[in-house]
């Protein structure tokens, strides 16, 4: 794990607002608890649909980089087939081995909703971001927050330079400033810029704004990959 460094003289605004951080954590606990209870019918319905269509497991687990580059297990409802078909021959293997930094023009490509390895249930839950529901448990545990930069894949975070590492100074979120300004359509350089804006301009008001914009996008199924 790399030691985070701050190459600028502008520390994260979160560190200058301890009271707001306490409020943010309390909100995370309350909202995630309520969502886990209220949305339980969706969990059950999605789980039964996954089981009926493609069997177990219901959940997908993956290591992600959290605050201060501490790895944790993120949970999602499984949307891909247990036994995938062979990938297209022209599809390159995923290798994250940049020597100095993640290139700004890098775009993380999730499987298209038309990918034959995505189940019918998977297409639906991805379109409306229902596959992210188990992350309320990550929020309740304290690995994540409701609002923050999306948790990075560990292998990609290992390639960050000092500036890119700044996004790891805060807890990752279920949704963030980058997601409501483009979601899957932006490259890595744009994502970092939006994430660093959030790190340096943190406020509860900004969190409320991001949450409201997220609800709007989810209801429309907007910009889903």
What is the CA 143 to chain-centroid distance, rounded?
Answer: 12
The per-residue pLDDT for 4 is: 60
Which mean pLDDT values do the consecutive 10-residue runs of the chain (225 residues) have? 53 68 96 95 93 93 95 95 66 72 87 79 88 95 96 94 95 94 82 95 94 85 53
The per-residue pLDDT for 85 is: 66
Strand-pairing partners, residue 63, are 73
The per-residue pLDDT for 183 is: 62
8 close to 161: Cβ distance less than 8 angstroms: no
In a 3-state reduction of DSSP, which class is residue 209? helix
The neighbour count for residue 209, using CB atoms within 10 Å, is 14
The per-residue pLDDT for 224 is: 46
The per-residue pLDDT for 225 is: 41
128 close to 224: Cβ distance less than 8 angstroms: yes
Enumerate the domain spans of the chain.
24-81+100-220
Burial of 210 (0-12, 13-18, 19+ CB in 10 A): buried
The per-residue pLDDT for 186 is: 87
63 close to 71: Cβ distance less than 8 angstroms: yes
Q: Tell me the pLDDT tens digit for each residue of 170-190.
A: 999 999 999 999 766 689 999
Question: What token pair was written down for 85?
Answer: 């078909």
The per-residue pLDDT for 7 is: 47
Lookup result for tokens 């100074």: 169
Count of alpha carbons within 13 Å of 157, Cβ hemisphere only? Answer: 26
Residue spans of alpha helices (H) in the chain: 18-38, 40-54, 120-127, 135-141, 154-157, 162-165, 188-200, 204-220
Closest of 111, 45, 46 to residue 84, by C-alpha = 111
């Amino acid at each position: 794990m790399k030691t985070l460094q701050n190459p600028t003289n502008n520390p994260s605004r979160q560190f200058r607002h301890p009271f707001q951080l306490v409020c943010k954590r309390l909100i995370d606990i309350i909202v995630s608890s309520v969502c886990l209870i209220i949305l339980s019918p969706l969990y059950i319905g999605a789980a039964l649909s996954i089981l009926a269509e493609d069997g177990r497991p219901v959940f997908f687990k993956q290591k992600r980089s959290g605050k201060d580059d501490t790895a944790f297990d993120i949970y999602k409802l499984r949307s891909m087939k247990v036994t995938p078909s062979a990938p297209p021959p022209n599809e390159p293997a995923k290798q994250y081995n940049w020597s100095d930094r993640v290139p700004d023009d890098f775009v993380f490509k999730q499987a298209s909703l038309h990918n034959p390895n995505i189940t019918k249930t998977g297409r639906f839950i991805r379109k409306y971001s229902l596959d992210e529901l188990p992350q309320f448990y990550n929020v309740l545990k304290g690995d994540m927050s409701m609002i923050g930069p999306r948790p990075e894949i560990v292998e990609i975070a290992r390639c960050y330079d000092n500036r890119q590492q700044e996004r790891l100074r805060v807890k990752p979120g279920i949704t963030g400033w980058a997601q409501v300004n483009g979601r899957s359509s932006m490259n890595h350089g744009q994502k970092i810029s939006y994430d660093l804006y959030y790190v340096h301009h943190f406020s509860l008001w900004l969190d409320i704004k991001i949450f409201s914009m997220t609800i709007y996008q989810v209801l429309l199924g907007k910009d889903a990959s």
